[in-house]
């Protein structure tokens, strides 16, 4: 056991005490005994970037569990460095979730069978999460800081391998950015940012006859991706799986390879968090290299994903070079990068304040034809991306807007509950209830910590 005190030292104001306690109950409810699940009914396994968000909140109330969740996830890391987007719970039956472990049919890796997981990834938010848990633990004194440093020492080489996999093997277009090979890798699963690139992927509906959807048994079909999109998702997995999960010549072999501004912004932020971690571990040279990599990724995002006419960041199809025609919340997240050019910072802030988005930001431009108030990432408000957007505001000293966004998110959850996502007009809770990352990030927002501890990489 780690020498952490049993409760958080954060002073919670009386009006927020109820929300704090309800958030803690959600995280306790979703603890499986081995890891935290996103929500018990719809998501019975361990998800990758959910684990990172949840760790940020657990840092306040149970740091031991935060480290344990990160350990459990990284114990499933592949030899090539990829961290799977789902680690399957062996106590959950194959038929309880699709696509389950049998569908992924993982190869033997480095002479041994892989842990039950998927073969795709999610945004590499884990270095940032580890740094946040460490910062919180350090506030408890030397003994806690020492234990947390030990955790960082275990995670650091694994986090580096994750970055190396993404920056080297996934640079499909050779432009310095990672490509996602499946919409699920973005975390923004059915965003219209992918529609143009997905148009060339066959929607074989017979796949749904052979592999029936499980999500519609517990969710409203009007809120979930369409059958056509789901058929494309299954087909993309089969293509990637049957190619041995190889990333060689992705642009030629695989029908979907896209550079996402949100994914790559998180990739850059991870390098900055690794620089901080390397500093704690006494690895000065490594810290400098991480900061250099963050600068390179920021420059590549500014160069490749910026659409000058609309002054927005867009997803780029690595196969065709075309930018997505749709403004999505993913285009606001480069704001997290401290070295982003000032004119692009101003443009993002203007976009966030505009009638197209507003705060809290919906997942898609409200004026776009693809905007849907109920359907997953095609309109609803999500706490996790708004939390990331708020960090970007803090990084660039936009404290007034950051505070406005913090209050709006807390009001949304206080009035409607810890839902997976929310109606962008009424605030109604949608998707899975008792959702872990919503609860975890509420704890961080209630604590209202200072701006992130990184600055321009001068």
Distances (CA, A) of 440 to 57, 320, 324: 4, 39, 32
Stretch 321-332: mean pLDDT: 98
- From 90-94, 364-368, 418-422, 445-449, the region with the lowest mean pLDDT: 445-449
Is 420 an annotated catalytic residue?
Answer: yes
For the chain, the domain total comes to 1
- Could you tell me if residue 455 is inside a domain? no
The pLDDT of residue 265 = 98
The pLDDT of residue 97 = 84
Each residue's pLDDT tens digit, 224-251: 778 888 899 999 999 999 999 999 999 9
- From 66-70, 134-138, 223-227, 396-400, the region with the lowest mean pLDDT: 223-227
Stretch 55-79: mean pLDDT: 96
Report the share of the chain in percent with pLDDT over 70: 91
Domain that holds residue 212: 14-447
The pLDDT of residue 4 = 41
- From 17-21, 109-113, 123-127, 277-281, the region with the lowest mean pLDDT: 109-113
- Could you tell me if residue 456 is inside a domain? no
Q: For the chain, what is the mean pLDDT? A: 91
φ, ψ of residue 249 in degrees (nearest 5): 50, 45
Stretch 129-157: mean pLDDT: 90
Distances (CA, A) of 218 to 40, 269, 342, 360, 403: 11, 35, 45, 27, 36
The pLDDT of residue 141 = 76
Each residue's pLDDT tens digit, 99-110: 889 999 988 776
The pLDDT of residue 7 = 42
Q: Is the pLDDT of residue 455 over 80?
A: no
CA distance 387 to 392: 9
- Could you tell me if residue 6 is inside a domain? no
Q: Is the pLDDT of residue 451 over 50?
A: no
Report the share of the chain in percent with pLDDT over 90: 78
Task: Let me know: does 275 contact 285? Beta carbons within 8 Å.
Answer: no
The pLDDT of residue 137 = 84
Q: pLDDT-derived band of residue 418, with 50, 70 and 90 as boundaries?
A: very high
- Could you tell me if residue 3 is inside a domain? no
The pLDDT of residue 1 = 35
Find where tokens 């993002």 sit. Answer: 348
Longest Cα–Cα distance of the chain, Å, equals 59
Task: Let me know: does 341 contact 335? Beta carbons within 8 Å.
Answer: no
Catalytic residue among 50, 189, 317, 351: 189
CATH number of the structural domain spanning residue 254: 1.50.10.10
Find where tokens 């990637």 sit. Answer: 240
How much is the CA Rg of the chain, to the nearest whole Å?
Answer: 20
Tell me the three state secondary structure of residue 109: strand
98's tokens: 């699709």
Each residue's pLDDT tens digit, 244-301: 999 999 999 999 999 999 999 999 999 999 999 999 999 999 999 999 999 999 999 9
DSSP label at residue 291: H
Stretch 408-437: mean pLDDT: 96
Distances (CA, A) of 121 to 14, 78, 143, 212: 40, 11, 34, 23
Tell me the three state secondary structure of residue 38: coil
- Could you tell me if residue 189 is inside a domain? yes
- Could you tell me if residue 319 is inside a domain? yes
Task: Let me know: does 388 contact 333? Beta carbons within 8 Å.
Answer: yes
Catalytic residue among 271, 365, 420, 444: 420
Q: Is the pLDDT of residue 13 over 80?
A: no
The pLDDT of residue 113 = 54
- Could you tell me if residue 458 is inside a domain? no
Q: Is the pLDDT of residue 98 over 70?
A: yes
Is 164 an annotated catalytic residue?
Answer: no
- Could you tell me if residue 454 is inside a domain? no
Tell me the three state secondary structure of residue 381: strand
Q: Is the pLDDT of residue 319 over 80?
A: yes
Q: Is the pLDDT of residue 3 over 50?
A: no
Each residue's pLDDT tens digit, 332-378: 999 999 999 999 999 999 999 999 999 999 999 999 999 999 999 99
The model scores a pTM over 0.85: yes
Each residue's pLDDT tens digit, 22-32: 999 999 999 99
The pLDDT of residue 446 = 94
The pLDDT of residue 328 = 98
Q: pLDDT-derived band of residue 204, with 50, 70 and 90 as boundaries?
A: confident
């Amino acid at each position: 056991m780690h020498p952490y005190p049993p409760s958080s030292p954060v002073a919670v104001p009386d009006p927020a005490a109820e929300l704090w306690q309800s958030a803690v109950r959600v995280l306790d409810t979703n603890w499986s005994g081995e890891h935290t699940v996103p929500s018990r009914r719809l998501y019975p396994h361990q998800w990758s970037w959910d684990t990172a968000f949840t760790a940020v909140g657990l840092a306040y109330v149970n740091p031991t569990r935060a480290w344990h969740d990160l350990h459990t996830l990284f114990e499933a890391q592949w030899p090539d460095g990829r961290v799977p987007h789902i680690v399957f719970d062996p106590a959950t039956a194959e038929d309880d979730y699709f696509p389950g472990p049998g569908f992924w049919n993982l190869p033997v890796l480095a002479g041994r069978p892989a842990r039950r997981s998927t073969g795709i990834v999610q945004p590499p938010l884990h270095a940032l999460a580890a740094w946040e848990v460490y910062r919180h633990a350090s506030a408890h004194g030397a003994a806690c800081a020492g234990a947390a440093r030990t955790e960082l020492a275990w995670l650091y080489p694994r986090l580096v391998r994750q970055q190396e996999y993404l920056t080297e093997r996934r640079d499909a277009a050779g432009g310095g950015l990672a490509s996602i090979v499946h919409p699920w890798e973005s975390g923004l699963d059915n965003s219209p940012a992918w529609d143009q690139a997905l148009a060339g992927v066959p929607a074989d509906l017979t796949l749904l006859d052979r592999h029936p959807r499980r999500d519609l048994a517990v969710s409203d079909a009007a809120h979930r991706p369409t059958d056509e999109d789901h058929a494309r998702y299954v087909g993309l997995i089969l293509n990637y799986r049957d190619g041995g999960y190889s990333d060689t010549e992705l642009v030629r072999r695989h029908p979907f390879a896209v550079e996402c501004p949100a994914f790559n912004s998180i990739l850059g932020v991870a390098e900055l968090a690794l620089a901080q971690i390397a500093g704690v571990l006494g690895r000065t040279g490594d810290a400098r290299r991480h900061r250099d990599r963050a600068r390179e990724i920021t420059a590549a995002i500014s160069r490749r994903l910026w659409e000058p006419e609309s002054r927005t960041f867009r997803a780029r199809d690595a196969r065709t070079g075309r930018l997505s025609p749709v403004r999505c919340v993913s285009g606001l997240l480069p704001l997290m990068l401290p070295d982003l050019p000032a004119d692009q910072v101003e443009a993002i802030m203007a976009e966030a304040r505009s009638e197209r988005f507003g705060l809290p930001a919906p997942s898609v431009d409200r004026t776009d034809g693809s905007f849907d108030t109920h359907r997953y990432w095609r309109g609803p408000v999500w706490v996790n991306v708004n939390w990331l957007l708020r960090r970007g505001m803090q990084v660039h000293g936009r404290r007034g807007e950051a505070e406005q966004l913090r209050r709006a998110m807390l009001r949304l959850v206080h009035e409607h509950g810890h839902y997976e996502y929310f109606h962008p007009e009424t605030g109604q809770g949608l998707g899975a209830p008792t959702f872990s990352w919503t609860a975890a990030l509420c704890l961080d927002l209630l604590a209202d910590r200072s701006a992130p501890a990184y600055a321009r990489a001068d």
